[in-house]
Amino acid sequence: MDRIILHSDCNCFYASVEMLHHPELEGLPLAVGGDPEARHGIVLTANYIAKRKGVKTGMALWQARAACPDLIFVPPRMDLYLRFSRMAREIYLEYTDQVENFGCDEAWLSVEKSRSIKGDGMTIAKEISDRIKTELGITVSIGVSWNKIFAKLGSDYRKPDAITLISRENYRSLVWPLPASDLLYVGRSTGRKLSSVGIRTIGELANADPSYLHSLLGKMGYVLHGFANGLDDSPVTTDGYHAPIKSIGNSTTTPRDLTCDTDVKIILMALSESVAARLRKNGFCAGVVEISIRDNGLFSFTRQVKLKRPTNITDEIMKAAYGLFQSHYFWEHPIRSLGVRGSNLTLDHMPVQLSLFTDEELRERQEKLDRMTDEIRRRFGYFAIQRAFMKQDERLSGLDAGTHTVHPVGYFHG
């Protein structure tokens, strides 16, 4: 018996939530993101009125304004969006415990066990769509298929507020004419490689020689060939399941462009605290610290350093991150985005070789202080305790870095 996989995608999610809270903007072009007062930033999402005028996600604010002079910008409110994401998930969980988030506005659901009570995939999708619209006031597009890849293609196929069935009978006519770039995991680089050899549609990818694709793309060649032919059998994870963690990181587009070392230290400290707290929560230490930097010219790069000793102490991660920054960035442009990541993870109770030149009592005090900070923030909120030097810039220190990004072991690992 075939699986029934749904992929639910909230339409223009951030903008849709903002429109609920700004009814006076009904019928006007709206975008979320950036900083209208400082006149910089990027578009996180836009409503369909703005999109029809040429506004696209990732555009710089000035580019969006050039495309749509009457565009209205509102600042992002992640706490509000995450609340709506949780409410949508609560609806999904009434149909199945197999709900796998793909960002805060998308999720896969495996609902074949519910068919005897709730009906077939299209019936369940229609009921979920109606409930999201009625109970949350936003719309979703839902794809229905027997695998996750085609279900995601279905949710992208028609927008907004649409349901698309991609079945074993119709996928060749529905999916194969689509651009190869529409397939999950076909990024810009892979798309360019495929286009350079005349593979421009999913159908052409499906009918290509797998060995040739392997020579062109490595292991991904076999994987994408299988996806194009509907051979994805990856499961939808059960609610509460956490994939094995490969690395832990956090990044942010800064509230304003960073123009000096002090600005960078404030943001790196917020991110380092976030990463270290998550390491401690999951019982890990990081052996490698990596930073990512993007300037306001949209040039970006990453650098990493192997630590002498794995750690989950905030100050040690911060020291490594800031050292990388000082060694590799020379202020040709202001900075728009920073990230910190810990990888090469080991369990925090694993024995390590001690150094005669390390003050172990100091490290123990630092770790106790970090864990006490974790507990205070858990009970009273992120801003209940902050380092004094963060207050040098209230705007930058107002960044809540308590939202972590966890990088699980990849789908194609091994």
- Positions marked active-site: 106
DSSP-assigned beta bridge partners for residue 304: 290
19 touches 46 (CB < 8 A): no
> Residue holding tokens 């707290």?
277
Helix, strand or coil, per DSSP, at residue 57: coil
Angle at 6 between CA 135 and CA 139, to 5 degrees: 30
CA distances from 99 to 95, 113, 129 (A): 9, 13, 16
Distance CA(104)–CA(403), nearest Å, equals 12
Exposed, middle or buried: residue 117 (CB in 10 Å: 0-12, 13-18, 19+)?
Answer: exposed
CA distances from 318 to 193, 247, 265, 276, 295 (A): 38, 16, 8, 9, 20
DSSP H or E stretch at residue 196 = helix 188-196
Pairing of strands 245-258, 45-46: unpaired
161 touches 129 (CB < 8 A): yes
**Among 358, 378, 372, residue whose Cα is nearest residue 307:** 358
Q: Identify the sign of the CA torsion 119, 125, 126, 131.
A: positive
Pairing of strands 163-165, 140-145: parallel
**Among 248, 258, 247, 268, residue whose Cα is nearest residue 401:** 268
Distance CA(165)–CA(218), nearest Å, equals 31
Residues in the chain: 414
Distance CA(330)–CA(135), nearest Å, equals 51
Supply the DSSP symbol for 34. S
